[in-house]
Amino acid sequence: MRSFRTLDDLPAQQRVLVRLDLNSPVEDGVVQDNRRFSRHAETVAELAEAGHRVALMAHQGRPGRDTFVSLEQHADILAEHAGVDVDFVPDTFGDDALAAIRGLDAGDVLLLENTRMTDDELPEKEPEGHAASDFVETLAAEFDAYVNDAYSAAHRKHASLVGFPLALPSYAGRVMQTEYEANTAIAEREFDGDVTMVIGGTKATDVIGVMEALDETVDRFLLGGVAGELFLRAAGYSVGEDVETDLFDDQWDANEEVIRSVLDERRDQVTLATDLAYEDDDGERAEVAVGDIEEKSQSFLDIGSDTVADYEPVVRDSEAVFVKGALGVFEDERFSVGTVGVLEAIAETDCFSVVGGGDTSRAITMYGMSESDFSHVSIAGGAYIRALTGEPLPAVELLVQSAEREA
Ligand SMILES: Nc1ncnc2c1ncn2[C@@H]1O[C@H](COP(=O)(O)OP(=O)(O)OP(=O)(O)O)[C@@H](O)[C@H]1O
Ligand SMILES: O=C(O)[C@H](O)COP(=O)(O)O
């Protein structure tokens, strides 16, 4: 089997450039702690304790979104989990970043600014193009090795993920190693009974594309979140349109054709919500049957209780359940009913269960469930789901190629 090198193979006393995935929920400008910090902290602590000089890169949000913020707060949260100081420099690869990197002593840890704040990070380019960018060439010159721990971003072909492995000897961090092993095992596992996939969240384009790819391996899709509303819209209900949020219309334009073809060809595989929840004029949770919605005048924030009651037995009768994305805005307790109800049903059965998605897996801790009630809780979203489909992850491929080149 092709494989990459890990921290076990990293020579001593290196200047190491590390890519983490600390992409996190942000509420009112405050970055929310989550298991991405605690898991990556293990890699960071191991590198610092081994006496390497460590500079960390990570991204947060996407340009134009409210979650697109600086990594200053991330440094403090990470330091707390890792038990080592993490300095922060508000620069990606300019003079301030280079001065901070050159000032690192053995065991020091520095976090650089959000990689998506440099214009070189996001352009659609092949790895060779990224490796020739100013960002990669400038930073690579300062280091002996590159460690990629960002399994959950490994499906992206961004400079910090695919450019550096062409410029430096490259290794997988502990999170990359663990997630890769677990998720590859999932892809290879065969199930005799029904396989159910719970699809929700806000990244409709990602999850709908994967629904297409998984038609052979998944017997039933239970839908909620933004993707669920878009499917309801295609089925003729007055939902899935932007009222107070701008989550829906662009995603509808991008996915309408696929959604209609999934509904035409595989309607029996797709289970849609029969009721939805919203905030009424008194600020309370209210529910309405989808057939009674005449025109879209408010945002729907959760699947309704009847839908949860429909979904629970499907989960209980499944041999394997994969979850990608929350069924509602569970961060607000009033709209946690769908996500928590379905997760609790999964936790109570002995089916093989995987919960993926950085945001969604947070609901497990928030609502007092135990990670041990699930077979695997992945901190990856899009990467996890691509692993299920057996699709190669570009950043993993580059780590493997680096190991092959240096063998
Ligand atoms: N109807 C809805 N309207 C708005 N937001 C919703 C709705 N339903 C779910 N969400 C939001 O979806 C988010 C979770 O899904 P999201 O697609 O962002 O990420 P994920 O699947 O957890 O993982 P990752 O971010 O790693 O891809 C939650 O934060 C929740 O508030
Ligand atoms: O949260 C994630 O899934 C990863 O950090 C990738 O983020 P992206 O979908 O904004 O590229």
Taking the centre of ligand 1 as the mean of its atom positions, its distance from the CA of residue 201, in whole angstroms, is 3
Residue 209: which pLDDT band, with cuts at 50, 70 and 90? confident
Residue 362: which pLDDT band, with cuts at 50, 70 and 90? confident
383, 390, 391, 392: which is closest to 356 by C-alpha?
383
Distance, first Cα to last Cα, the chain = 15
pLDDT, mean of residues 241-266? 92
Residues of the chain with pLDDT > 70, as a percent, come to: 98
Give every CB contact of residue 282 below 8 A, 6+ residues apart in sequence.
none
Taking the centre of ligand 1 as the mean of its atom positions, its distance from the CA of residue 46, in whole angstroms, is 32
Distance CA 78, CA 44 (A): 9
The residue whose CB lies within 8 Å of the most ligand 1 atoms, and thus the one to mutate among 24, 40, 230, 329, is: 329
List pLDDT tens digits, range 268-292: 999 999 999 999 999 999 999 999 9
ipTM exceeding 0.85, yes/no: yes
Residue 196: which pLDDT band, with cuts at 50, 70 and 90? very high
Provide the CATH number for the domain formed by 189-374 in this structure.
3.40.50.1260
Identify the CATH class of 7-180+392-406.
alpha beta
Q: Is the CB of 357 under 6 A from ligand 1?
A: yes
Give every CB contact of residue 131 below 8 A, 6+ residues apart in sequence.
137, 163, 164, 166, 167
33, 30, 58, 23: which is closest to 44 by C-alpha?
58
* pTM of the model as a whole: 0.78
Boundaries of every domain in the chain: 7-180+392-406, 189-374
pLDDT of residue 124: 87
Taking 90 as the threshold, does the pLDDT of residue 216 lie above it? Answer: no
List pLDDT tens digits, range 132-189: 999 999 999 999 999 999 999 999 999 999 999 999 999 999 999 988 887 766 566 6
pLDDT of residue 185: 62
Distance CA 164, CA 142 (A): 12
8 A C-beta contact, residue 163 and residue 135:
yes
List pLDDT tens digits, range 26-42: 999 999 998 899 999 99
pLDDT, mean of residues 203-223? 87
Distance CA 7, CA 405 (A): 17
Q: Which residues of 51-89 are buried (b: 16+ CB within 10 A; e: fewer)?
A: ebbbbbbbbbbeeeeeeebebebbbebbbebbebebebb
Cα 89 from chain centroid (whole Å):
25
Q: Is the CB of 226 under 6 A from ligand 1?
A: yes
Distance CA 290, CA 293 (A): 6
pLDDT of residue 188: 64
Cα 406 from chain centroid (whole Å):
30
Higher pLDDT, 368 or 214: 368
Taking 70 as the threshold, does the pLDDT of residue 1 lie above it? Answer: no
Numbered residues of the known binding site: 21-23, 36, 59-62, 116, 156, 331, 357-360
Taking 80 as the threshold, does the pLDDT of residue 10 lie above it? Answer: yes
List pLDDT tens digits, range 87-116: 999 999 999 999 999 999 999 999 999 999
Do 7-180+392-406 and 189-374 agree at the fold level?
Answer: yes
Total residues belonging to the chain? 407
